[in-house]
Amino acid sequence: MITRQVAVTAALVWHTASFAEPCKIDKARYRYTSAEYNATADFLAVHSEWIGHRSPRTALHLRLPLAGQGQAAFLDDWFVFDQGSSQRIYLMNSTSRSSPSWAGWDDKRSVGPLDTLFNFYAWSAQYVVLVKPPSSGDVAPEYIFLPELHALIPGISGVSPLPGMFVLDRCDA
């Protein structure tokens, strides 16, 4: 257990030192820190009439391995950000299971495997917490934490990894 913690700490220090120029959110690619779970995350611009008060908006894309489906099977899901008068950032799940879409978000629909994922926390390498939703062109956070995700992983993947978060893994050119 201690060896795993040392390895994770060393990897986090390496990632922090690896990026000389700040990575923009549109180019950031994240990996889940629990070694036994190969999940990834990134951000993308999305267009939608429903969320049109500022379109395009930035959405969080999660790619999670599926249970018993082999190495190539993943669950993709997308979330836009919502923030009321507080500094908390909430996630609003896509209504489509095959593409980022929020059409009919207010309509009754079947519950998806990540519909109870609500809270989004992110912070920089200097541990400054994001208090506004990520937007295209922003500097990418170093860490992303989705507190409800750990409890949902066993139902999606059939494994129970150690609790984790997403760490900035690379910055695409």
- Contact by Cβ (8 Å): 134, 43: yes
pLDDT at 165: 96
pLDDT at 17: 47
pLDDT at 35: 79
> Is the N-terminal amide bond of 134 cis, ω within 30° of 0?
no
What are the backbone angles phi and psi of residue 76, rounded to the nearest 5°? -100, 135
Q: Which helix (H) or strand (E) holds 81?
A: strand 74-82
pLDDT at 119: 94
pLDDT at 94: 82
Q: What pLDDT tens digit does each residue of the chain (173 aa) get?
A: 555 554 455 454 445 445 568 999 999 999 999 877 889 999 998 876 665 555 678 899 999 988 766 667 888 999 988 887 778 898 888 877 777 877 766 677 667 788 889 999 999 999 999 999 999 899 999 999 999 999 999 988 888 888 899 999 999 98
Q: Which residues of 28-46 are buried (b: 16+ CB within 10 A; e: fewer)?
A: bbbbbbbeebbbbbbbeeb
What's 94's DSSP letter?
-
pLDDT at 80: 87
pLDDT at 110: 67
What's 76's DSSP letter?
E
CA neighbor of 92 nearest in space, from 38, 48, 136: 48
pTM of the model: 0.81
In sign, the C-alpha dihedral spanning 4, 8, 13, 18 is positive
Rounded CA separation 101/161 (Å):
29
pLDDT at 10: 47
Which pLDDT tens digit goes with each residue over 131-151?
999 998 999 999 999 999 999
